[in-house]
Structure 1
């Protein structure tokens, strides 16, 4: 019996030794593998930094830097870590932008601030504010065209707070006090131009397909002789939203786009599920320009390749890749996961979409913003003087005189602009004059839009 116990003890010890040696062997193999693998090299350098760098450095900072470095090494402008304003913009697209406000849209018309749209079921709608009401005051402060750029800040505010507007309707002045509420900022806006409807889509966010569907159901749109969809300066957004919008127009069964990932190839076709069982027979004229990109190009190509639309404007941007947004340990990033092709199999990356009808870029569209708020006076010179001259030339106040010097011709043009806009004639360009120039440029572009005029002339 003792002999048997001794044998068992011996076998047990041998077994333990075997397990121990096996663990050592496995550990050694794993260590060698880790040291030789790319991650092993990163880990070794990470440990070295942690031990020998001259001061303490947080793990979070090192990991964030490593992710940043890997993304930068791709030499892909669309693969990057997300932070600051860029992160805010991405989150706004994914969740939909909203703010505390009253629900009106305004524009300057003949140097007056006019309500051009009142959003349904908003505080402004419930307060019976009407389109074409003239706004002359906010919270007791007089406002006019010079304050146009500041109006949003004046009218928006914390949800639940009050704002008082002074308005003129039918030559009668009155005040209305409104309680601010949460206003969803729609990416879809609608306006009439004669017998045509123009729908502008600023980007494709989480609510765009729903908002476009509601716009297309509108009686005025349904009975319009022409539908124009304006995608100028639309940077893209959520691919699925663009595909749903395209499915409203593209017949079921037809290809909307082709998706080519590393291990996945898909052909996306228009269908009831994608369009949420909504279809329209309207065939739009789509306006594009050099800043029409990504998801807006997916929408455009889907309609054009299926002969559901024609395009007007300039070559689009040319972004033919798809990105995925993700987060790990509070580090947010995006990187390219696929490329997309048009229904006809064309990759438009860095090439863009050529418009059916090409129009020139107007001088107004290319006007830059002033670089400083410095007072601009006679005999000064510099970049802001050149920008001032560009505005005066585009608005018809100055002949071809881009010198960057505030000369007599520039001085006389500034005085003429001030006189025409009921501003104090000083020949000095201050903050108010800059705003007035911005507004005048916007109005000229809005009223003399050659691309819209071309779209209106097309029979399709």
Structure 2
């Protein structure tokens, strides 16, 4: 009786197992069929033919145009940074990283479903017109930017030097909209500048150097290395690295900049995607810390994005620098450029950046160690002073007013470095080793 019951129980369990296994298999098969590419491609082909035959203007569209439009829509629905680039757009991207192109000089992205200015580039039409970080571009040439991709916006904003473009901006902090008619210029970008907007790099008070990195292009690390060499030759004891209003750029340049302050082999950033090939660790490969441990303060604000956030996050995690200013933009996703056979390309989000301590940057940003906020008036004055000829273009009264406005973030950075250097000097004097040296020096 007991044995019969046991056999019956085993048979029941086996039957249940077969039933569950069959159900799982059928569900997987059904799900696979539902997600198969072939029925979807068939639907796509049917719709395309319907458009060609029955749309009132269907005869004006080629198959190539319809497919490319579909690709643009497909990529734009994935996330704000993925896009299908026509050959001309791909060429524009190449020109961006080489530091020369034609347009109005504003870097834009999609934030909260709005076309938003990450940062204006110094001494460009957009910069001189007063367009600022966080401004929303609501219309371009009378067309609403709702559902407009970044690529579409950039294509309209750019053009031959000397031509004009009309746009409307909205500033959330004031609730005001403004119309602009801007004349396009050939945009040439110096990636690394000194406090005077030049490339002379004089040493400041207390032997503190200042370097501003405006963007991470192909020569940024090379230009930074040259700047550091000039400052070290003057006896630099501390550095302010200004990444405010830096919209980012090339990942390899972010690593190359970071490694100039780190020992060889130190982890800088990790990119993690869905596959093993998309998960990559980037380590410092240079000749070591160029400053030999001298203190650094990195300035950031809401206009610091992407590659700028990688540098700030790395140096913060490794306790190599003090990060001062405001929370950064939070653009920490990796876009891979996949060139296609006809000269077009995909910009596809394939991974996210993580700092050495595995903090995610995307949509979080970098929180500064020391928060120092600026007002709109202070920001405007700082940007005017940065622009070559900005002060000279003002009348005497406005020039005096702009010159009188402080830069609280830079001032605080200089105070922090001065304090660190003073403490290091005093610690050396009053440490046990310093006391022994004083006693030895006092002996007859």
User: TM over 0.5: same fold?
Assistant: yes
Q: Do the aligned residues in 2 keep the contact of 1:249 with 1:283 (CA within 8 Å)?
A: no
Question: Relative to 1, partners in 2 of residues 1:351 and 1:187: Cα closer, same or farther, differing over 3 Å?
Answer: same
Say whether residues 1:52 and 2:54 are aligned partners. Answer: yes
1:338 to 351, 372, 386: 351
5+ unaligned residues in a row in structure 2: which ranges?
A: 1-34, 103-126, 130-160, 163-185, 196-201, 385-393, 421-444
Q: Distance in 2 between matches of 1:183 and 1:222?
A: 32
Query: Residues 87 and 292 of structure 1: is their aligned pair in 2 closer, same or farther, counting only changes over 3 Å?
Result: farther
Query: In the alignment, is residue 236 of structure 1 matched against residue 238 of structure 2?
Result: no
Question: How many Å separate the matches in 1 of 2:378 and 2:81?
Answer: 25
Aligned counterparts of 1:91 and 1:365: Cα–Cα separation in 2: 34
Counterpart of 1:294 (choices 297, 306, 325) is 306
Q: Which residue of 2 is the match for residue 112 of structure 1?
A: none
Q: Secondary structure at the residue paired with 2:68?
A: helix
Q: Are residues 1:205 and 2:217 paired?
A: yes
User: Using the alignment, how far apart are the partners of 1:201 and 1:42 within structure 2?
Assistant: 47
Retained in 2: the 8 A contact 1:189–1:200?
A: yes
> Do the aligned residues in 1 keep the contact of 2:338 with 2:347 (CA within 8 Å)?
yes
Question: Contact 2:248/2:307 (CA < 8 Å) preserved in 1?
Answer: yes
Secondary structure of 1:37 counterpart: helix
Q: Distance in 1 between matches of 2:344 and 2:402?
A: 39
SS in 2 for 1:360: coil
Query: Which residue number in structure 2 is paired with residue 363 of structure 1?
Result: 376
Where do residues 372-391 of structure 1 align in structure 2 (5 Å cutoff)?
none
Does the CA contact (< 8 Å) of 1:250 and 1:302 recur in 2? no
Partner residue, 2:83: 80
Q: Any gaps of 5 or more consecutive residues in structure 1? A: 1-32, 100-147, 151-156, 159-181, 369-390, 392-419, 424-436
Aligned to 1:39: 41
Larger radius of gyration: 1
Determine the C-alpha separation between the residues in 2 that align with 1:83 and 1:444: 48
Are 2:282 and 1:268 aligned?
A: yes
Between the aligned partners of 1:440 and 1:58, the Cα distance in structure 2 is 60
Which position in structure 1 is the counterpart of 2:410? Answer: 452
- Distance, in Å, in 2 between the alignment partners of 1:330 and 1:453 is 49
The alignment's C-alpha RMSD in Å is 3.6
What is the TM-score normalised by the length of structure 2? 0.56
Q: Which residue of 2 aligns with 1:14?
A: none
- For residues 337-357 of structure 1, the C-alpha deviation after alignment (integer angstroms, 9 at most, x for no partner) is 101111001112222111111
Q: CA deviation at 1:259?
A: 1.3
Residues 186 and 207, structure 1, Cα contact 8 Å, conserved in 2 = no
Give the TM-score taking structure 1 as reference length.
Answer: 0.54
Q: Which structure dedicates a bigger proportion of its chain to helix?
A: 2
Cα gap change, 1:318 to 1:45, in 2 (>3 Å) = same
Q: Is the 8 A contact 2:86 2:343 kept in 1?
A: no
